[in-house]
Amino acid sequence: SPPAGASPGSGAMNLFDRQLKRKQKNWAALQAEPAKCDYLREEVGGRIADRVFDITRTFPLALDVGSGRGYIAQHLTKETVKKLIQVDIAENALKNAVESEIPTVRVVADEEFLPFKENTFDLVVSSLRYQSRDLCVCVLQIHQVLKPDGVFIGAMFGGDTLYELRCSLQLAELEREGGFSPHVSPFTAVADLGHLLSRAGFNTLTVDTDEIQVNYPGLFEVMEDLQGKYILCMGESNCSWNRKPLLHRETMLAAAAIYQEMYGNSDGSVPATFQIYYMIGWKYHESQAKPAQRGSATVSFGDLAKIEGLLKKGKK
């Protein structure tokens, strides 16, 4: 049998436990009062929809990868997207999906193995679904199913997400247990994201970042909210193979004190920061604008400096 963490049918090592991920997401989708759990994903879903609206075209067929309960779809309109396919690894999430005005088909599938033919979709969107996956594989899959001149618009947690919590836990574990283990799935650095998209074949890339900060009474409230809202209700709790099962009580108390001391607000609360990367990439088509050939410029930077000087004199 393949070793723990090996991808099925290959010798490649998978850093994440895919069966655990499916269980986490199915459990999360069944939790009561989902509206209390989903406001971060709904906010980011709305911001992705805004980026779709910025593109002045209609998309006959779109795909939402890791759609969950339809956080992006509820913000889109049938005038922009004519038909939508929602894909998620958790069938319970799709069963509880929010209704949309767009004709929608829901498919249960692993986002790393999209069950669609090449050159199928005009638009692919995805929100906060790449923390526990092989990002290279996912991006390649998305590029493959896009039509030429199709666009991918996605969002994922950035490298500074929950830095206050992660730093506090690591310092506490080092002090009390002589070492530390990851308790939140790893995050991608923004410098790597554009490189990954480019290597997958996307061009005309745009990558920008934003932060959402939430204040809590203390570390224990942060942990409780993450378990109930951001992490488990999004199915994004740590599922790396080297995860540590639990933290000792003494370590947690030490982490709470460190959190308050290092990051505490003047009113006694503590912040939790969620950094969001937004990415846009296009699949190549011959009709797309191409960069000019090297050495074809007709104006030098020296000439531009002279023009700027003339403009300043004209203003005087």
pLDDT at 155 (0 to 100): 94
Cα(191)–Cα(200) distance, rounded to whole angstroms?
A: 15
3-state DSSP assignment of residue 207: strand
pLDDT at 190 (0 to 100): 80
Which stretches in the chain have pLDDT values below 50?
Answer: 1-17, 32, 132, 230-243
The tokens for 1 are: 């049998």
pLDDT at 133 (0 to 100): 52
For residue range 11-63, what is the model confidence (pLDDT) as tens digits?
444 444 455 555 555 555 555 455 555 778 888 999 999 999 999 999 999 99
pLDDT at 1 (0 to 100): 36
Backbone angles phi, psi at 289, to 5 degrees: -60, 140
pLDDT at 115 (0 to 100): 94
Residue 308 Cα distances to 131, 298, 304, angstroms: 47, 17, 6
The tokens for 99 are: 């209704």
Cα(33)–Cα(9) distance, rounded to whole angstroms?
A: 39
pLDDT at 296 (0 to 100): 72
Angle at 262 between CA 260 and CA 268, to 5 degrees: 35
3-state DSSP assignment of residue 85: strand
Residues 268 and 217: beta-carbon distance below 8 Å: yes
Roughly how many angstroms between the first and final C-alpha of the chain, as a whole number?
Answer: 80
pLDDT at 11 (0 to 100): 42
Domain residue ranges in the chain: 18-163+186-216+272-285
pTM of the predicted model as reported, rounded to 2 decimal places: 0.75
Amino acid at 112: E
pLDDT at 165 (0 to 100): 92
Residues 122 and 60: beta-carbon distance below 8 Å: yes
Amino acid at 185: S
pLDDT at 154 (0 to 100): 95
pLDDT at 5 (0 to 100): 43
DSSP-assigned states of every residue in 156-171:
EEBTTTTHHHHHHHHH
What residues contact 57, with CB distance under 8 A and at least 6 apart? none
Beta strands 146-157 and 84-88 are unpaired
Residues 184 and 168: beta-carbon distance below 8 Å: no
Bridge partner residues of 127 (DSSP): 155
For residue 310, the tally of other CB atoms under 10 A from its CB is: 10
Class of domain 18-163+186-216+272-285: alpha beta
DSSP-assigned states of every residue in 275-305:
EEEEEEEEE--TTS--PPPTT--SS-HHHHH
For residue range 67-79, what is the model confidence (pLDDT) as tens digits?
888 999 999 999 9
pLDDT at 194 (0 to 100): 87
Beta strands 270-283 and 202-216 are antiparallel
Please return the burial class of 75, using the count of CB atoms within 10 Å of its CB with bins 0-12, 13-18 and 19+.
middle
